[in-house]
Amino acid sequence: MKQEHIVIIGNGIAGVTLARHIRKLSDKRITLISSESEHFFSRTALMYVYMGHMKWDHLKPYEDKFWKKNRLELKQAYVTEVNTDQKRLKLESGELFAYDKLVIACGSKSNKFGWPGQDAKGVLGLVSKQDLEELEELAPNNQVCKRAVIVGGGLIGVELAEMLATRNIPVTFLVREPHFWNNVLPDEEAKLIDRHIREHHIDLRLSSNLDEILTDEQGKVKGVKIKETDEVVDCDVVGLTPGVSPNVEFLKNSAIELNRGVLVNRHLETSVTDVYAIGDCAEQREPIGNRPAVEAVWYTGRMMGETLAQTLCGNPMEYKPGHWFNSAKFFDIEYQTYGWVFPKPPEGHTDFYWEHEDGKKCIHIQYEKGSRQFKGINTFGIRLRHEVFDHWLTQKATVDEVIDNLKLANFDPEFYKHYENEIINVFRTQKAEV
Ligand SMILES: Cc1cc2nc3c(=O)[nH]c(=O)nc-3n(C[C@H](O)[C@H](O)[C@H](O)COP(=O)(O)OP(=O)(O)OC[C@H]3O[C@@H](n4cnc5c(N)ncnc54)[C@H](O)[C@@H]3O)c2cc1C
């Protein structure tokens, strides 16, 4: 009998996890097609290569011989068309490539919002290996790049600011919201990070939108104009980091139904039989609880890959990501979130905020008013245990149980025990006052 051929477009965390798990479960033929790099690498660690903490090869979790040993075929090529009637892909070279089952795991691209000058030399995003190479070329030091302007105050923008700062390149950072990442973070945390970014000598401009990117006669960036003030900031590099969106342009003429991303059901099936989508490019038709329909985070790509491997190997499984969590780092301050903490507590919910006197550590909890059910926590500068919060969310613990037992969640009891008493005391005092 002919071996089933599974073709995966994209060799990121979603595609590679899927391939590994199919191989664990079956003998199917598997091909991973990707245009960006021959081998899988950790996208989340791109910044450390520029900062000199790692070399490119350190980003590759598997040795180069791993792929052959596990019979995972790799093809470095760009897919330009998907013909689902004939079950064939067209590659940029013109080659046609057949599949029995197709998995789209093609990730995200940087957003651009039609700004004048956005395609000029010197404008880049921070998503791909090629972006990193371009950054190295355009901003090797502060002689070649005298100033960079970053547009878009999210997780990738702050990483880019940190990267440039390590090479002493002055940075102006335009953030549309009144405080950093304030469309996601409540005011208190957003202000804490504003201060921290400024402590690192970043010229942070809040409530500031990009109007246009100015170029010289050679079409190279020479500055940006800020919409609110008409101020022109001279610069050699513009980092566009106003979020990412699914990388689905090459599917626009296919029969696969798209919205922002590739629309999928809970089994990660698209509108076309034998075609699936996972990772950053997949969009749930029916979002799961409060989760975004497109989840552009590392661990959900991995979970979708693991789940779909089961389905493709005869054990149909729904994607069930569990409770929301995430983590990141803003210069020196680590951030974790478990459950849901909204910028403002929703109707019927309230919150508790504690900040250490050094202004670099805080926790913010949201909970239901009547039942006092714990809904979520943000922590900055204090590392807490994922499994403990996952358990409390599943058990629908009250905020009182969470605060009283905070020590169970301590990642490093020795280091953090002295904050705990203070947090409990502040919580009790506030509760007594209500
Ligand atoms: C700088 C940065 C930092 C991040 N930090 C974090 C973090 O700290 N925590 C976190 O949870 N998430 C983080 N993320 C997000 C996380 O990296 C992504 O969610 C994850 O990598 C997505 O994986 P994926 O497998 O869906 O797609 P990708 O890793 O994007 O892989 C898709 C691949 O498909 C290729 N491809 C696309 N179209 C085609 C085509 N037509 N033909 C051939 N190949 C194609 C792409 O070139 C790419 O190589 C970060 C992202 C960036 C950019």
193-221: pLDDT as tens digits: 999 999 999 999 999 999 999 999 999 99
Whose CA is closest to 202, among 213, 211, 193, 210? 193
> Residue 323: CA atoms inside 13 Å, Cβ hemisphere, count?
21
Residue among 7, 11, 43, 75 whose CB has most ligand 1 atoms within 8 A, to mutate: 43
pLDDT at residue number 333: 97
276 within 8 A of 297, measured Cβ to Cβ: no
Going from the Cα of 357 to the center of ligand 1, the distance in angstroms, rounded, reads: 38
Structure tokens at 148: 């960079």
Give the pairing type, strands 123-124 and 237-240: parallel
Q: How far apart are CA 149 and CA 173, in angstroms?
A: 6
**What average pLDDT does the segment 364-370 reach?**
97
CA distance 433 to 430: 5
CB 315 within 8 A of CB 308: no
**Quick one: tokens of 194?**
């504003």
What percentage of the chain reaches a pLDDT higher than 70? Answer: 98
25: alpha, beta or left, given left = phi > 0 and alpha = psi -120 to 50?
A: alpha
Indicate whether 419 pLDDT > 90. no
Residue nearest to atom 33 of ligand 1 (CA): 10
- Superfamily covering domain 325-433: FAD/NAD-linked reductase, C-terminal dimerisation domain (3.30.390.30)
Q: Tell me the chain's radius of gyration from C-alpha atoms.
A: 23
Q: Compute CA 331 distance to the chain's CA centroid, rounded to the nearest angstrom.
A: 16
The protein residue whose alpha carbon is closest to atom 3 in ligand 1 is 44
Residues 6+ apart with CB under 8 A from 37: 11, 76, 129
Antiparallel, parallel or unpaired: β 325-330 and 282-284 = unpaired
Q: Is 97 in the pocket of ligand 1 (CB under 6 A)?
A: no
Tens of pLDDT, residues 86-100: 999 999 999 999 999
User: Distance between CA atoms of 432 and 174, rounded to whole angstroms?
Assistant: 42
Q: Name the residue ranges covered by the structural domains of the chain.
A: 5-108+245-312, 123-239, 325-433
> What's the whole-number mean pLDDT along residues 134-153?
97
pLDDT band with cut points at 50, 70 and 90 for residue 418 = confident
Closest CA to 294 of 306, 305, 285: 285
pLDDT of residue 30: 98
Nearest CA to ligand 1 atom 15: 297
Q: Is the CB of 106 under 6 A from ligand 1?
A: yes
Intrachain domains 5-108+245-312 and 123-239 with the same fold: yes
Q: Which of 160, 145, 169 is nearest to 221 (CA)?
A: 145
Residue 279 CB–ligand 1 contact under 6 Å: yes
- In the prediction, which pLDDT does 416 show? 65
Q: Which residue's alpha carbon is at the smallest distance from atom 2 of ligand 1?
A: 44
> Is residue 433 over pLDDT 90?
no
The confidence score (pLDDT) of residue 347 equals: 96
Q: Which two tokens stand for residue 219?
A: 């079409």
Q: Across all residues in the chain, what is the average pLDDT?
A: 96
Pick the CATH number of 5-108+245-312 from 3.40.50.1820, 3.40.50.300, 3.50.50.60, 1.10.8.60: 3.50.50.60
Q: Which of 161-170, 264-273, 275-284, 400-409 has the lowest mean pLDDT?
A: 400-409
Please identify, by atom number, the ligand 1 atom nearest to the C-alpha of residue 281: 26
| Per-residue tokens: 94 | 């013109």
Q: What is this structure's pTM?
A: 0.95
pLDDT in the model for residue 415:
65
Using a 6 Å cutoff on CB, does residue 33 contact ligand 1?
Answer: yes
User: Does residue 13 come out as left (phi exceeding 0), alpha (psi in the -120 to 50 range) or beta?
Assistant: alpha
E-strand stretches of 247-382: 262-264, 275-277, 282-284, 325-330, 333-339, 349-355, 362-368, 374-380
Q: Of all protein residues, whose CA lies closest to atom 5 belonging to ligand 1?
A: 44
Instruction: Tell me which residue of 258, 324, 248, 312 sits closest to 288, measured CA to CA.
Output: 324
The token duo for 411 is: 């990642």
Left if phi > 0, otherwise alpha if psi is -120 to 50, otherwise beta: which for 94? left
Helix (H) or strand (E) holding 5: strand 5-9
Give the residue from 17, 16, 19 showing the smallest Cα distance to 30.
Answer: 19
DSSP state of 420: H
- 13 CA to centre of ligand 1 in angstroms: 7
Q: For ligand 1, is residue 102 a contact (CB within 6 Å)?
A: no
407-422 average pLDDT score: 79
In the prediction, which pLDDT does 432 show?
64
Query: 123-239 sits in which CATH class?
Result: alpha beta
